[in-house]
Amino acid sequence: MKASLTEGECATGRASAPRRIAAIACLLAVALLAYPSLAFADIIWPALVLEIRMWSVWPIAIGLAIEFFFYWKIYEITPGKALIADIVANAISAGLGIVLIPLAGILWEFSVGRIVASAIHWGTFNPVTWVATVLLSATINAAVEGYSLKLIFKYPFNRRIFGWLSVANFFSVAVAFASLWVNPYQP
């Protein structure tokens, strides 16, 4: 296995999907690291706060319970299989979410979020950004979980299932978001 793209692969566009994804991720990481305001260690944004809260015990427990019922009904599998699928898909989603959710949030902040903040004259923690953060988080989790279930368990993953997984993940992420109001984040 080659470690980098060859000149021919880049020129012809024949690089494999994992290589293209890795190349894009590297470019995004370099771009984000090169942005001067990101050099400050104390910068924080809603997606980062939400991701931290999503790792709390009771949002995880409630989220797993919510998604268990969706998996059980969507895939029409036994409760035992639904529980295993739920735990495996959410473990993968949590692992990738540590990077993907804050990255999506920071991309929001330096694109649409900047426009929204200047239009409503509020900072980063405005209602529009919070709604976008919850929706982005649910969408990312649904995509990761759906692909995980497809690859590991060979369960189908199509638009309908993605829609239902997005709904399930919206409720799960909403629990983490609601916990911020019950017990506010304190850095």
What's the number of CA atoms in the CB half-sphere (13 Å) around residue 29? 8
When divided into structural domains, the chain yields a total of 2
How sure is the predictor about 70, in pLDDT bands with cuts at 50, 70 and 90? very high
Q: Is 97 contained in some domain?
A: yes
Report yes or no on 187 lying in a domain. Answer: no
143 CB-near residues (< 8 Å, 6+ apart): 162
Are residues 150 and 118 both part of a single domain? yes
> Does 20 lie in the same domain as 89?
no
| pLDDT one-digit tens code per residue, 139-161 | 999 999 999 999 999 999 999 99
Going by C-beta distance under 8 Å and a sequence separation of 6 or more, which residues neighbour residue 168? 66, 67, 70, 71, 142
Based on the domain organization, do 8 and 90 belong to the same domain? no
**Do 97 and 11 share a domain, yes or no?**
no
Tell me, yes or no, whether 4 and 48 share the same domain.
no
* Residues 51 and 139 reside in one and the same domain: yes
pLDDT at residue 184, as a whole number: 81
The answer to whether residues 15 and 73 belong to one domain is no
Which domain covers residue 25, as residue numbers? Answer: 1-34
7-40 tens-digit pLDDT = 444 445 555 666 666 666 555 555 544 444 444 4
Separation between Cα atoms, residue 50 and residue 103, nearest integer Å:
12
Residues 30 and 122 in one domain: no
CA distances in angstroms from 91 to 39, 119, 149, listed in the order given: 30, 38, 12
pLDDT for 22 equals 63
**CA 93 to chain centroid:** 7
Note whether 17 and 50 are same-domain residues: no
Asked whether the predicted pLDDT for residue 78 surpasses 80, the reply is yes
Q: What is the mean pLDDT of residues 48-71?
A: 92
Residue type, 56: S
CB distance 113 to 129 below 8 Å: yes
Number of DSSP helices (H) and strands (E) in the chain, helices first: 8, 0
pTM: 0.75
